[in-house]
Amino acid sequence: MLSVLQAIWQADGAFPSGSFAFSYGVEGVIALRPKLNGAALAELTAAILRLRWLTCDRVALIKAFRIAGDLDALAKIDHELETSTFGSTMREGSRRNGGSFLASHARLGDATALRLREAVRSSVCLGHIAVMQGAVWQAMGLDEMLAQLASAYSVASGVTAAAVRLGAIGALEGQKVLRGCLPMIETLVAQPVPHDAELSSFIPFLEIAAARHARADLRLFSN
């Protein structure tokens, strides 16, 4: 039960992982579609989970999880994720989010996080959030399934929370969208990740919206 509780702890939006500052491109989408409603947000969240998380972030997470602390292999996965992320704002957001994740765990005394933070500082690793999660959560004792569930839930929760904070939908509508994501997340994580899986991502509308957002004069989120 301890590993289950740890997964819940890591997926909790109150954990200071740095995701509070990131909208996963949602702020840029709302700028283009100010009347975004719950149904549209549900479609957007599903697209992020299916076309980005499932085929890219999840693959990086599991690859990092499976190498069990091999720093050279971890750095390679980190650079693969960098080149698989088209927009600069999304790349920078992923690295900054990963840095905040490591900083929180390092301050809690996590030896793996301390080691990885030094690797990022010395430019051995880039520090993308999915890669750092895979390495730290494996060392914490989570299994692959729990790590995937925590990661996917964090993404879905982050997207809906950003939409609520931006005033696009209300808090209860956000919870409705998030609840609707749960069966899909269950289905997605049931799909096996082959050891030779390659990272891929295709969400052009979101990437364009995030790129436009980077040039906005006033922003609540960093991406």
Mean pLDDT, residues 217-222:
50
Residue 91 reports pLDDT greater than 80: yes
The token pair at 14 is 């109150």
Regarding predicted confidence, which is higher, 223 or 181? 181
Using CB atoms within 10 Å of the CB of residue 147, give its burial: 0 to 12 exposed, 13 to 18 middle, 19+ buried.
Answer: buried
What's the average model confidence in pLDDT over 3-19?
86
Residue 223 has what pLDDT?
A: 47
Return d(Cα 147, Cα 151) in angstroms, integer: 6
Distance CA 21, CA 66 (A): 29
Looking at per-residue pLDDT, the higher value among 27 and 178 belongs to 178
- pLDDT, residue 18, reads 63
Q: Summarize the confidence of residues 54-58 as an average pLDDT.
A: 96
Question: Residue 218: pLDDT above 60?
Answer: no
pLDDT at 113 over 50: yes
We find that the CATH architecture of domain 24-211 is Orthogonal Bundle (1.10)
Domain limits of the chain? 24-211
Instruction: Say yes or no to pLDDT of 49 above 50.
Output: yes
Mean pLDDT on 75-94: 88
pLDDT at 212 over 70: no
Percent of the chain with pLDDT over 90: 67
Q: With bands split at pLDDT 50, 70 and 90, how would you rate the model's confidence at 205?
A: confident
> Does the structure show a pLDDT above 90 at 22?
no
Taking CA atoms, 157 is separated from 44, 67, 110, 118, in Å, by 13, 28, 25, 29
In this structure, of 135-139, 168-172, 180-184, the range with the lowest mean pLDDT score is 168-172
